[in-house]
A and B are shown apart, each in its own frame.
Chain A
Amino acid sequence: MNDTNELVLEVADLHTVFTTPRGVMRAVDGVSMSLRAGETLGIVGESGSGKSVLGRTVMGLIADNATTAVSGSVRIGGHDVHAMKPKDRRKLWGPEVAMVFQDPMTSLNPVKRVGAHITEALRLHLGLNRKDAHERAIDLLRQVFIPEPARRMKQYPHELSGGMRQRVVIAMALACDPKLLIADEPTTALDVTVQKQILDLLASLASQRNMATILISHDLGAVEGRTDRVAVMYGGRTVETSLTSRVFARPAHPYAEALLASIPRIADAPHTVLRAIEGAPPNMLAPPGGCSFAPRCRLAQDRCREEQPQLREMSDGVRGLHAEASHLGACHFPLTEVTERQEVG
C-alpha cells in the first residue's frame, strides 16, 4: 500500500441508535464503507435518510452517551474513533478529519471575527504563534478565492455574503490539512448560482491536496461528475453503492432509479414532467418490516414486505473488478435483473 493510495477511512457495520422520549430511532443501521486518499465518495438520500447522522458519527461528533448508542467501528487514519478518549478524539479533528457544514449562516459564530475562526484551530493543533497563524489564515482565504483576504480577516460573518461565508467555512475546515473532509450538504443553503462554484472549489482543493472527501447531498446532480463512488442511503441503510458512473448509467435499486429520474436535465425535451417519488420517507421510529422502501416501491412484492434485503453483488454483467468498484445493492428484485428478465420474457 503506497502513500498516495493509503486507506484513510474504514467504517464497519456502523449503527447509531437514538433513544428519544417517543421511541428508539435507528438513524444509521449497519453501514460499511472505506475511502482511500484522494478518493471522493458521494452519499445521497432524502432528508431523514440518516446521511447527516452518518457523517457526524463517522467523525465522532456523535458518540455514545445517555441517549445515543453507537456500535460498529470507524477507523480514521488507523485510529478507532469510537474507542478513543474524547480528549484524544479531539486531536483528530482538524489534522485528520474536518467537516464543512450545511448552513454558513449558522455555522459561523456571529460575534467572532472571520480571522479568529481560522486562527484558533491553527494555534491549537499546529501550535503556531499569533503572527504565523494570521499569515497562514490569509493564505487559506486566498486558496478558497476570497478577495482581499487581509481585510476579510477583521470582518464579522454578517458582513459577508452566503457564498463567501461558505468559503470561510471551507478554509476553516482545511486549516490543519485534514486527510479526510466530510462535507455535509455544503451547498444546500446557498443560491443556485453559487452552488456550482463551491462544489467545484471543493473538488479542486481535494485533488490538489490528495484529500479523501465525503460529499453528503440530497442532490444527485451535485454528486455526478464530482465523485468517484456514490452510496445511496435510505432509512439509515446503504441501498446501493458503486462507481458513480455505473450507478448513474444503470441503477439497480428502484429507489436510486427514482432519485435519478427526479433530477431535471437540460437535455430533456421542454415540458418534460419531473418524476417525484411517491409517498414520504419511512418513519424512523416505527420502520416497516422488510425492505424499508417497499411501501413506496413500484416493483414491491410480498417478499419485499417480509424480508429485509441485504447488500449483495448486482449482476449487471461487469465482473472481476476489485472490491471497491463492485456494484452492491440491497434489493430482492434489482432493476438490473428485472430488465434482463423483461428482455428475456
Chain B
Amino acid sequence: MRRIALRAGELLAVLFVVSFGVFAMVTLMPGDPAVAILGEGHPKQDYVDLRQELGLDDPLLTRYWHWLSSAVTGDLGRSLVPPQGDVTDRILGALPVSFQLATMGLLIALVLAVPLAMWSAAHAGGLVDRIISASMFAILSIPSFLAGLLLIMVFANGLGWFPRAQWVRISEDLPANLHHALLPALVIAMMELALFTRILRNDLIVTLNEDYILAARAKGMPPWRIMVTDALRPSSFSLVTLMGISLGRLIGSTVIVEYLFALPGMGSMIVTAANQGDFPLVQGAVLIIALVYVVVNASIDVSYGYLDPRTRRVHA
C-alpha cells in the first residue's frame, strides 16, 4: 500500500512539472495572442482590453495557477484560432480517432509479432529465422513517415485497395471505419512489430533453454503447446516493458500518420495548432497526452504482478 501511495505521489509530481513546463514554454512564444485573435489593424485599446480579459498581463505563476485549477475541473480554456471552440471539446473529439489508430496499430503489431517471434525462436538459426530477423532489423530503420508514403504509394495509389485522406467515424459505419483505419494502423504497426518481434524472439530463445521447458517436453507435451503455455508468458516481461517505453514512439507515429493521411486526430490537431500558434490548444493536448502516457506506464508496472507471480508477494 505504501509503495502504491509513493508511486502515486511521484506520478503527481511528474504531471505537475510537465504541466508547468508546457505552460511556461508555450507562454514564452513570440507574438501577441491578442493580435492573433483579433487580427491586425484594430485600435490599440482593443488589444489592451483583450489582454486584460484573457489575463495575459498577470505574472506567470498566477496565470499558471488559474489555468491549472480550471484544468483540474476539465476546463482547458478556449482555442485562439477560429472557430475558437472549447479546448476540452476539441480534444474529446480528436482523442477517439488517435486512440483507435494507436490501439489498432498496437494490436496488429502484437498479433503478427507473437507468432513470428515464436516461429523464429523455435527454428533459431534457420533460414526463416534469419530472414525474419534481418527484415525486422531493416524495418527498424524506416521512419514511419517514409513507410507511410511507401505504403500509400503501393496500396492506396498503385493497387487502389485503400482510401486515403478520409475518415468515417466508428459510430457511423463500422466496416467503412475499419477500411479507412487499416492502412494508417499498418503504418503505425510496422515499427512496433519489428521491435516486438526482435525482443520476444531473443527472450523466447533464452526461455526455451530453461529446465522447465525440458521437463515439459519430457511429459510429452507437443512443441506448439510448450511454446504457448510454457514459454510465452515467462518470455514476455521485456516485451511488456518495451511496450511502455515505446508508447512515446507509438504516439509519435500516430501523429505522423494522422498528418500523412489527414485524419482528424490529436496529432493533426496539435501540428496545426503549433503552426498557428494556438497555445491553449497545444497546452491542453500536450497535458492530456502526458497524462495518458504516465497512466499507461503506471498500469504496466501493475501488470508485472500478473505476468510473474514471484513479484506479487513483494508488492503486497
Q: Residues of A at under 8 Å CB distance from B?
A: 59, 61, 87, 90-94, 98-99, 101-103, 106-112, 120-121, 124-125, 156, 158, 169, 172-173, 175
Contacts and interface: CB of A to CB of B under 8 A. Distances in A.
Interface string B268-309: 000000000000000000000000000000000000000111
Nearest to B231: A109
A158 B222 contact: no
Contact of B308 (A92, A99, A110, A173): A110
Contact of B215 (A90, A101, A175): A101
A14 B310 CA distance: 42
Given A110-B234, A111-B307, A92 B215 contact: no
Contacts of A109: 212, 216, 230, 234
Interface in B208-222: 210-212, 214-222
Interface string B222-237: 1000000110011000
B309 A99 contact: no
B142 to A, nearest CB: 34
B212 to A, nearest CB: 4
A124 B215 contact: no
Nearest to A91: B220
Interface of B: 210-212, 214-222, 229-230, 233-234, 307-310
Contacts of A101: 211, 214-215, 218
Contacts of B221: 90, 120-121, 124
A108 B219 contact: no
Given A59-B218, A112-B229, 20 more contacts: A61-B214, A61-B218, A87-B222, A90-B221, A91-B220, A93-B218, A99-B215, A101-B214, A101-B215, A106-B212, A107-B212, A107-B214, A108-B215, A109-B234, A110-B234, A110-B308, A110-B309, A112-B230, A121-B221, A172-B219
Tell me if B's interface is mostly helix, strand, loop or mixed.
helix
Contacts of A124: 219-221
B220 A108 contact: no
B300 to A, nearest CB: 17
B222 to A, nearest CB: 7
A20 to B, nearest CB: 14
Nearest to B125: A66
A124 B212 CA distance: 18
A121 B308 contact: no
24 contacts: A59-B218, A61-B214, A90-B220, A90-B221, A90-B222, A93-B217, A93-B218, A99-B215, A101-B215, A102-B211, A106-B211, A106-B212, A107-B211, A107-B215, A108-B212, A110-B212, A110-B234, A110-B310, A111-B233, A111-B308, A112-B229, A121-B219, A121-B221, A172-B215
Contact of B220 (A93, A102, A169): A93
Most B CB atoms within 10 A — which of A99, A102, A111, A158?
A111
A169 B308 contact: no
A111 B234 contact: yes
A196 to B, nearest CB: 23
Contacts of B230: 109, 112
Contacts of B211: 101-103, 106-107
Contacts of B218: 59, 61, 93, 98-99, 101, 173
A148 to B, nearest CB: 19
Contacts of B310: 110, 156, 158
B214 A158 contact: no
